[in-house]
Amino acid sequence: MVSNPQAPTTDESSNRTVTVPLGDRSYPIRITSACICGQEGRGADVGILTDAAADVTHWVLIVDEAVSNRWATPIGKALDSIGDTVRVNVIEVPSGETSKSVESIGGIWNQMLNLGTDRRSVVVAVGGGVVGDLAGFAAATFARGVRFVQVPTTLLAMVDSSVGGKTGINLPGAKNMVGAFWQPEAVWIDTDVLATLPDRTYRSGLGEVVKYGVIDDAKFFDWLVDNADGLVRRDADALRYAIAASCESKARVVGADERETSGRRAILNYGHTFAHAIEATTGYGTWLHGEAVAIGMQMAARLAIRIGMCDADLLKRQSDLLAACQLPTTMDTADIDAMLTVMQRDKKVAHGKLRFILPSRIGHVDLVSDIDRNDVIASIEQTIGKA
Amino acid sequence: MVSNPQAPTTDESSNRTVTVPLGDRSYPIRITSACICGQEGRGADVGILTDAAADVTHWVLIVDEAVSNRWATPIGKALDSIGDTVRVNVIEVPSGETSKSVESIGGIWNQMLNLGTDRRSVVVAVGGGVVGDLAGFAAATFARGVRFVQVPTTLLAMVDSSVGGKTGINLPGAKNMVGAFWQPEAVWIDTDVLATLPDRTYRSGLGEVVKYGVIDDAKFFDWLVDNADGLVRRDADALRYAIAASCESKARVVGADERETSGRRAILNYGHTFAHAIEATTGYGTWLHGEAVAIGMQMAARLAIRIGMCDADLLKRQSDLLAACQLPTTMDTADIDAMLTVMQRDKKVAHGKLRFILPSRIGHVDLVSDIDRNDVIASIEQTIGKA
pLDDT digits (tens, 9 = 90+) for B247-283: 999 999 999 999 888 888 999 999 999 999 999 999 8
Task: Judge contact between B216 and B251, C-beta under 8 A.
Answer: no
Which positions in chain A touch B144 (Cβ < 8 Å)?
A: 166, 168, 176, 179-181, 259-260
The SS3 assignment for B6 reads: coil
Q: How far apart are CA A4 and CA A12, in angstroms?
A: 12
Which has more confidence, A218 or A119? A218
What's the CA gap between B59 and A17, in Å, rounded? 45
Write out chain B residues lying below 8 Å of A180, CB-based: 140-141, 144-145, 180
Q: Which fold has domain A12-196?
A: Rossmann fold (3.40.50)
Between A285 and B294, name the one with better pLDDT: B294
pLDDT of residue A378: 96
Residues of A in contact with B259 (CB under 8 A): 144-145
Of B15, B227, B269, B302, the active-site residue reads B269
Cβ pair A109:B178 closer than 8 A = yes
Q: Is position A258 annotated in a ligand binding site?
A: no
A116 CB within 8 Å of a chain B CB: no
- Name the residue in chain A with its Cα closest to that of B105: A102
Closest to B55 in 3D by CA, of B88, B23, B85 = B85
Other C-beta atoms within 10 Å of B252: how many?
16
* pLDDT tops 60 at residue B337: yes
CA–CA separation, A274 and B148 (whole Å): 32
- On whether A283 is known to bind a ligand per the annotation, the reply is no
The catalytic position among B208, B248, B258, B291 is: B208
| Domain spans of chain B, in order of start | 12-196, 199-383
What interface predicted TM-score (ipTM) does this complex get?
0.91
What is the arithmetic mean of pLDDT over B284-307? 95
Across B137-156, average pLDDT: 97
Tell me which chain A residues have a C-beta less than 8 angstroms from the C-beta of B171.
109-110, 113
Q: What is the pLDDT of residues A133-147, one digit of tens each?
A: 999 999 999 999 999
> What is residue B171's predicted lDDT score, i.e. its pLDDT?
96
Per-residue pLDDT reduced to its tens digit, A287-301: 999 999 999 999 999
CA of B165 vs chain A CAs: smallest distance (Å): 11
Best CA proximity match to B131, nearest among B123, B119, B122: B123
Whether the per-residue pLDDT at B322 is higher than 50: the answer is yes
Is residue A8 over pLDDT 50? no
List of chain B residues whose C-beta atoms are within 8 Å of the C-beta of residue A172:
110
DSSP letter, residue B142: B
Per-residue pLDDT, B6: 37
Name the band, by pLDDT with cuts 50, 70 and 90, for residue A285.
confident
Asked if residue A346 has pLDDT above 80, the reply is no
Any binding-site annotation on A41?
Answer: no
Contact state of A109 with B171 under an 8 Å Cβ cutoff = yes
Pairing of strands B166-171, A364-368: unpaired
What per-residue confidence (pLDDT) applies to A350? 55
Q: What share of chain B in percent tops pLDDT 70?
A: 93
Do A141 and B171 lie within an 8 Å CB cutoff?
A: no
**Closest Cα in chain A to B118:** A347
- How far apart CA B29 and CA B21 sit, in angstroms, is 11
Tell me the average pLDDT of chain B.
Answer: 92
How does pLDDT run across A182-215, given as a tens digit for each residue? 999 999 999 999 999 999 999 999 999 999 999 9
Whether the Cβ atoms of residue B58 and residue B120 lie closer than 8 Å to each other: yes
Query: Cα dist. B363→B210, B256, B267, B270, B301 in Å?
Result: 11, 17, 11, 12, 13
CB–CB contacts below 8 A, A to B: 72
Confidence grade of residue A260 (pLDDT, cut at 50, 70, 90): confident
pLDDT at A3 over 70: no
Annotated catalytic, B381? Answer: no
From the list A131, A86, A91, A130, the residue with the least C-alpha distance to A111 is: A91
* B377 has pLDDT over 80: yes
The CATH classification number of A199-383 equals 1.20.1090.10
Over range A258-266, report the average pLDDT. 89
Residue B351, pLDDT above cutoff 60? no
- The pLDDT of residue B85: 86
- pLDDT reading at B347 higher than 80: no
**pLDDT of A207-238, one tens digit each?**
999 999 999 999 999 999 999 999 999 999 99
- Higher-confidence residue: A8 or B216? B216
**Contact with chain B for residue A181, Cβ under 8 A:** yes
On whether the CB atoms of residues A288 and A200 are closer than 8 A, the answer is yes
Is B131 a known ligand-binding residue?
Answer: yes
Q: How many C-alpha atoms does A199 have within 13 Å on its Cβ side?
A: 5
* Residue ranges of A 122-141 with Cβ closer than 8 A to chain B: 140-141
Q: Which of B55, B28, B21, B34 is nearest to B149 (CA)?
A: B28
Q: How far apart are CA A209 and CA B128, in angstroms?
A: 49
- Smallest Cβ–Cβ distance between B180 and the set A141, A259, A260 belongs to A141
Looking at residue B31, what is its pLDDT? 96
pLDDT at position B307 over 60: yes
Mean of the pLDDT values across residues B18-36?
Answer: 93
pLDDT in tens, A53-104: 999 999 999 999 999 999 999 999 999 998 888 999 999 999 999 999 999 9
pLDDT band at B139 (very low <50, low <70, confident <90, very high): very high
A108 touching B (Cβ < 8 Å): no
Tell me the average pLDDT across A150-165. 96
**Distance separating alpha carbons of residues A191 and A207, to the nearest angstrom:** 17
pLDDT band at B236 (very low <50, low <70, confident <90, very high): very high
pLDDT digits 0-9 by tens, B73-101: 999 999 999 888 899 999 999 999 999 99
